[in-house]
Chains A and B, each alone.
Chain A
Amino acid sequence: MARPKLQAQLAHHPVLRYGLATTSSAIALGLALLSQHYGFRNVEVPLFLFAIVVTVWYAGTGPVILAVVLSSLAFDYFFTEPRYSFYIRRSELPYYAVFVLFALLLAWFAAIRRRVEAELRQARDKLEIEVAERTQQASLLNLTHDTIFVRDMSDVITYWNHGAQELYGWASEDAIGKRSHVLLRTVFPAPIDDINAELLRRGRWEGELRHVKADETQVVVSSRWSLRRDEQERAVAIMETNNDITERKRREQEVESLNQELAKRSTELESINKELEAFAYSVSHDLRAPLRHMAGYTELLQKKASSGLDQKSNHYILMMLESAKRMGDLIDDLLAFSRISRAETQKTMVNLAQLAREALAEVRQDTEGRNIVWKIGTLPDFYGDRSMLRLVLVNLISNAVKFTRTRAQPEIEIGCSEGNGNELVVFVRDNGAGFDMKYINKLFGVFQRLHQSDEFEGTGIGLATVQRIIHRHGGKVWAEGVVDGGATFYFSAPRPQGELWRA
């Protein structure tokens, strides 16, 4: 626009502004003198006023005062009787005064109008900037995946972002102008009056809401409300940001129901465990007593009558005693085995090297007088139940000692080999009787034996015990063997975050 442009240019150049005042006044005077010369009458007043108006419009307050002064002087000198003199005749004074007042009034009105217009223009510019900013913000809000909408204090939606459209299925033209709680059929976690009271008090509210989408499905959202106030602190709008937590809620419910199921199972397991305990107790106490009596009375019989019995009868008595003893051993082993499953594990960092020394000491009476070559490598620290791990080593080592009995040069190696990074593997290797790999699945079973009992004694519970202990530590057991070529038994345990193993 030309006018504001010219105004803007003039505004910055005082010389131009005052020049305009002088020039317009001079032109008005020239035109007035010219029209007087040609006999036109009473043209000078409108011409001067016109010059003043032009000046005030384009040049502002300072120059218009100059224009008023110049015009007044010119009017006085050329057009007020007596002419060509600054003297004003008394009768001409009112006419002159009216002219000056009218000029001032005009200047004043024009100045006011100019100011108002400038203010308006400024306000419009500000508004334009704000609109630009808002538009930018709105498009930013559209970029977020969060669901954001704004509603006024009577819940009428005034803004609806892209995320809201995506979540609820309503386009912004459908949503804007509707009452949000009606459109979304909001279910509140508390009375709405309480929520609004909190919103007004704190300026914000957070909670979980249930909404119904355009396709009639339900959605659970985590909702955050922020109150927007104007400059007079009046609440004007509420911005609601919602996140779809339907899936999370569903998972939580699933987890909860799984937990309940687990608690139920756990209770069941507990009662089964209790039964098992009662059973074990009964085995421990009630089965042992008759066994003791059988052995006791047989022995009393032997003492009293053996001299009168023949060799075969004495042999029978001996067999009875042996069987009673064996059954006693079996009961003891079975109880020990069941205790391992029932006992709580008390895990600490266990020094396996120390534990191996203790295990060796324990089997000493079986190794005395035998020329066993021991190879004991570096053993790691192991996170586990000390007494249980000790039992593992004792079982494996005593097995190795037992099954190398037939060797002229027995060798037993205890060591540690690298597992697959997340676990460490400990092994016990011997060059003893070994076993046939086709019976490997029987090796760790309870009471399973791969050798005849007159060849190698034992109840067949040792490796089952080893397996159960290692399983309770989250590890694995396995073995390799060759008939008459020795055997290697391995056990491993996971190394959670590298903390539980120290090499």
Chain B
Amino acid sequence: MESVNKLGRILMVEDDPKDVELTLTALEDYNLANEVVVTRDGEQALDYLYCRGEYKTRSSGNPAVMLLDLKLPKVDGLEVLKQIKSDEELRMIPVVVLTSSKEEKDMVASYKLGVNAYVVKPVDFHEFVNAIKELGVFWAVINEPPPGSVRK
């Protein structure tokens, strides 16, 4: 399938296994789940991006999009966002904050740090699935990722 060939890699940073499972389930319907890399905290996410630690040997290249939770163990989402956006190599990666927090201060802080989108996870599963699908389709299929992003 041509569309599959054009798929971008999605980096998901989410500490809650249930959220991971539900998100992957939602992406499966669009065959988007295979290219999702899941990291479980901020440190792991940065390790992935900098190809270090357990990701030392991964194939190089940036993800086409990063789905970032804010409340994360070790390094929290805002800190990860700050590091990415202040790094010359990484700042082009589109970052979507995907969080439960509707708090204005989180939104303001994220946008100030240069986030590309801010999505509040809907409680309703239908809405949640739709939101994830639309995000996946938009960022991994429709959007032209910056040069240097990994494609399948």
- List chain A positions with a Cβ less than 8 A from chain B: 280-281, 284-286, 288-289, 291-293, 295-300, 321, 324-325, 327-328, 332, 335, 339
A292 touches B128 (CB 8 A): yes
B103 touches A296 (CB 8 A): no
B100 touches A295 (CB 8 A): no
Contact of B126 with A by CB under 8 A: yes
A291 touches B123 (CB 8 A): yes
Q: Which residue of B lies closest to A335 (CB)?
A: B102
Residue of A281, A291, A321, A335 ringed by the most chain B CB atoms within 10 A: A281
Sort chain B's interface into a size bin: 20 to 34
Contacts of A299 in B (CB 8 A): 125-126
Contacts of A284 in B (CB 8 A): 100-103
A285 touches B124 (CB 8 A): no
Contacts of B90 in A (CB 8 A): none
B137 to chain A, nearest CB (A): 20
Q: How far is the CA of A324 from the CA of B126 in the complex (A)?
A: 13
B101 touches A281 (CB 8 A): yes
Known: A296-B128, A328-B124. A289 touches B103 (CB 8 A): no
Contacts of B70 in A (CB 8 A): 285
Q: How far is the CA of A291 from the CA of B122 in the complex (A)?
A: 10
- From B25, B101, B102, B121, A292 is in contact (CB under 8 Å) with B121
Contact of B82 with A by CB under 8 A: no
A386 to chain B, nearest CB (A): 16
- List chain B positions with a Cβ less than 8 A from chain A: 16, 18-19, 22, 25, 70-71, 99-104, 121-126, 128
B123 touches A324 (CB 8 A): yes
A305 to chain B, nearest CB (A): 15
Secondary structure type dominating chain B contacts: loop
A to B CB contacts below 8 Å, 25 in the list: A284-B100, A284-B101, A284-B103, A285-B100, A285-B101, A286-B100, A288-B121, A288-B123, A289-B121, A291-B123, A292-B22, A292-B121, A292-B122, A293-B18, A293-B22, A295-B124, A295-B128, A296-B128, A297-B22, A299-B126, A300-B22, A325-B123, A328-B123, A328-B124, A332-B102
Contacts of B102 in A (CB 8 A): 284, 332, 335
Contacts of B122 in A (CB 8 A): 292
Q: How far is the CA of A37 from the CA of B66 in the complex (A)?
A: 156
A293 touches B19 (CB 8 A): yes
Q: Which residue of B lies closest to A328 (CB)?
A: B123
Q: How far is the CA of A291 from the CA of B125 in the complex (A)?
A: 10
B100 touches A292 (CB 8 A): yes
Q: How far is the CA of A324 from the CA of B124 in the complex (A)?
A: 8
Contacts of B101 in A (CB 8 A): 281, 284-285
Residue of B100, B123, B128 ringed by the most chain A CB atoms within 10 A: B123
Known: A289-B16, A293-B18, A300-B25. A325 touches B124 (CB 8 A): yes
B99 touches A295 (CB 8 A): no
Q: How far is the CA of A332 from the CA of B125 in the complex (A)?
A: 16
B108 to chain A, nearest CB (A): 13
Contacts of A295 in B (CB 8 A): 123-125, 128
A296 touches B71 (CB 8 A): no
Contacts of B100 in A (CB 8 A): 284-286, 288-289, 292
Contacts of B104 in A (CB 8 A): 339
Contacts of B19 in A (CB 8 A): 289, 292-293
Contacts of B128 in A (CB 8 A): 292, 295-296
Q: How far is the CA of A285 from the CA of B100 in the complex (A)?
A: 5
Contacts of B123 in A (CB 8 A): 288, 291-292, 295, 324-325, 327-328
B104 to chain A, nearest CB (A): 8
Q: Which 10 A-B pairs have the closest CB atoms?
A: A328-B123, A299-B125, A293-B18, A296-B125, A288-B100, A296-B22, A285-B100, A295-B125, A285-B101, A292-B123
Q: How far is the CA of A299 from the CA of B102 in the complex (A)?
A: 23
B113 to chain A, nearest CB (A): 18
Q: Which residue of A lies closest to B122 (CB)?
A: A292
Q: How far is the CA of A293 from the CA of B14 in the complex (A)?
A: 14
Q: How far is the CA of A324 from the CA of B134 in the complex (A)?
A: 23
Residue of B22, B25, B99, B125 ringed by the most chain A CB atoms within 10 A: B125
Q: How far is the CA of A178 from the CA of B126 in the complex (A)?
A: 97
Q: Which residue of A lies closest to B106 (CB)?
A: A281
Q: How far is the CA of A292 from the CA of B123 in the complex (A)?
A: 5
